[in-house]
Amino acid sequence: MLKTFPKGGVHPAENKLSKGKSITRLDPPKTVVIPLSQHLGAPAQAVVAKGDQILAGQLLAKAGGFVSANIHSSVSGVVAKVDKMPDSSGYRQMCVVIDVKGDDWVPQIDRSNDLKTGIPSNPDEIRAKIAEAGIVGMGGAGFPTHVKMSVPQGKTANNLIINAVECEPYLTSDHQLMMEKADEIIIGVMLMQKAIGAGKAYIGIENNKPDAIAHLSDIAKKYSSDIMVQGLKVKYPQGGEKQLIKAVLKREVPSGGLPIDVGCVVQNVGTAFAVYEAVLKNKPLFERVVSVTGKSVKNPVNLLARIGTPISELIDVAGGVPEDTAKVVNGGPMMGKAVADLSVPVTKTTSGILLITEKEALRPEMFNCIRCSRCAGVCPMSLEPYLLKNMVNVSRWEDLQPEHVLDCIECGSCSYTCPAGIPLLDYIRLGKANLNKILRSRKS
């Protein structure tokens, strides 16, 4: 039986061009630029200096607080500099630049392809290894995984939900990972179950990936009866945490609350694989699967790339930048971030690189709102984007709060669907930022 979340959502064209392309390992580039803030929360603090000899998997920067994550080197070589470099948003942030020499890994890392199944009995040990390996949510937000895994006192997490929805059009990295590393993923899920003490685990997959649903179901049966693979109807934004919980368990995370408030922890399927590698193979998170795709890309691919590789190198493997490219997006078309420059590095949260053609790069022409109410109809959080936009236009920041503007998950369904071409989400983001500013100043 297929499930989905009840209200809102859109159906953008899927365009899964790199579907079925097996994951190719990309050799380390000549130099890597590893940003020290690839996650939500405080940036990590560098523990290496210029001139240090580095092995792949070696710690480069320590977590700079509880909500933060370790950063490891993805290559072996010499630290060229530790300095501020532009990140994908163009602002400067601390980065470690490494000149690559050879490909030597830290000896503790198990580089073989052997499957390991021994699950440690102590949840704390699993959590410590996850924290040590610097794993963050690999779906896009980059929330440190060990923080999510620490269930606060007085709360229980009975259900672990694995987000394998991949509702973003174009992207196929999770899909391909599930097809190739199903055993590892299921063991990763069991590790996470153990870490948070969740009795049940659900893997939510949209039914545009029937092969993945069948494959994972088969593998899951081999290991545990507590892992359910749940097929879901195709609808964007099903990969949103709250939408996924609603779809799978019919529970509604309260406004302003977290999944843990309804006894759930949601993790991305890529994170499950990273957890497996970290706990059983001692391998920190320093490479990830990235889809390189786009309508005019010669050879759409799924690559296993080292963190810090410039995205231009990945695009080269996919056949180079097509002539008619006008926009390059780090992530999927619905929630990804457009980059201004192709030298920005792959980070822990780069699930795809999308090259958009000239024809589709520019936004449609903007007309007056015709009050068709489609934005309100597609909003998965049942907000009224047209109303929020009107309030932002006249700077009524405080009035946005009772309209639940802070619940917006920024999925972009409203902007996508607007027939008048109004970038509603731009306005809502502006409103959220200004409201948050006011709320912060009130607190202090």
Partner 1 sequence: MALNRLTVSMSPHDYGHDSVKKIMLWVVIAMLPAFIVSAVFFGLDAIRVNLIAIAACVFFEWLIQKIFFKGKSTVGDLSAVVTGMLLAFNVPSNLPWWIIIIGALVSIGIAKMSFGGLGNNPFNPALVGRVFLLISFPVQMTSWPKVQVMNFALTDAQTGATPLAIVKEGIKNGQSFGDIMSNMPVSYSDMFMGQMGGSLGEISALALLVGGLILLIRKIITWHIPVSMLASVAIFTGVLHLINPAAYADPAFHLLTGGMMLGAIFMATDMVTSPMTPKGQIIFGVGIGIITVLIRVWGAYPEGVSFAILIMNALVPLINNWTKPKRFGEIIKK
Partner 2 sequence: MELIIYTVVTLCVLGAILAVILFLIAQKFKVFEDPRIDEVEAQLPGANCGGCGLPGCRGFAEACVKADSLGSLFCPAGGNAAMSKIAEVLGQVAVEKDPMIAVVRCAGSHEKRAKTNLYNGIASCASASMLYSGDTGCPNGCLGLGDCVSVCTFNAIYIDEKTGLPVVSDTKCTACGACVKACPKNIIELRLKGKKDRRIFVSCMNTEKGGVARKSCSVACIGCGACVKACAYEAIRLENNLAYIDFEKCKLCRKCVETCPTNAIHELNFPPRKVKSADEAPAGETVKE
Residues in the site for partner 1, rule: CB under 8 A? 7, 10, 12-13, 169, 242, 246, 252-257, 321, 323-329, 331, 333-342, 354, 356, 358, 360-364, 367-373, 376, 380-384, 386, 404, 407, 410, 412, 415-421, 423, 425-426, 429
Q: Where are the alpha helices (DSSP H) in 22-142?
A: 123-132
Residue 397 CA, distance from chain mean position:
30
Q: Which two tokens stand for residue 150?
A: 């620490």
Distance of closest approach, residue 308 Cβ to partner 2, in angstroms: 20
Distance of closest approach, residue 325 Cβ to partner 2, in angstroms: 13
Residue 412 binds which of partner 1, partner 2, none (CB < 5-8 A, kind-dependent):
partner 1
Is 429 a binding residue for partner 2 by CB under 8 A? The answer is: yes
In 136-211, where do the E strands start and end? 159-163, 200-206
By beta-carbon proximity to partner 1, the closer residue of 110 and 410 is 410
Distance of closest approach, residue 173 Cβ to partner 2, in angstroms: 24
| Contacts to partner 2 from residues 255-284, by CB under 8 A | none
Sign for the pseudo-dihedral over CA of 96, 98, 104, 110? positive
By beta-carbon proximity to partner 2, the closer residue of 99 and 410 is 410
Residue matched to tokens 């390992």: 25
Sign for the pseudo-dihedral over CA of 80, 86, 89, 94? positive
8 A C-beta contact, residue 311 and residue 331: no
Rounded Cα gap, residues 247 and 352, in angstroms: 25
Q: Return the exposure string of 125-139: e unless at least 16 CB atoms fall within 10 Å of the residue's CB, then b.
A: ebbebbbbbbbbbbb
Residue 92 binds which of partner 2, partner 1, none (CB < 5-8 A, kind-dependent):
partner 2
Rounded Cα gap, residues 207 and 56, in angstroms: 38
By beta-carbon proximity to partner 2, the closer residue of 31 and 434 is 434
By beta-carbon proximity to partner 1, the closer residue of 215 and 327 is 327
Residue of 141, 340, 438, 439 interacting with partner 2 (CB under 8 A): 340
Residue matched to tokens 């010669």: 298
By beta-carbon proximity to partner 2, the closer residue of 31 and 343 is 343
By beta-carbon proximity to partner 1, the closer residue of 132 and 426 is 426
By beta-carbon proximity to partner 2, the closer residue of 18 and 88 is 88
Residue matched to tokens 């090259």: 355
Residue 356 binds which of partner 2, partner 1, none (CB < 5-8 A, kind-dependent):
partner 1
Q: Which two tokens stand for residue 55?
A: 């092995």
Compose the 345-384 pattern: x for residues touching partner 2 by CB under 8 A, - for all others. ----------------xxx---------------------
Identify the DSSP state of 160: E
Q: Which two tokens stand for residue 90?
A: 């163009």
Distance of closest approach, residue 371 Cβ to partner 1, in angstroms: 5
- Please return the burial class of 298, using the count of CB atoms within 10 Å of its CB with bins 0-12, 13-18 and 19+: exposed
| Contacts to partner 2 from residues 78-137, by CB under 8 A | 86, 88-92
Rounded Cα gap, residues 134 and 153, in angstroms: 23
Binding site for partner 2 (CB under 8 A): 86, 88-92, 340-341, 361-363, 423, 426-427, 429-430, 433-434
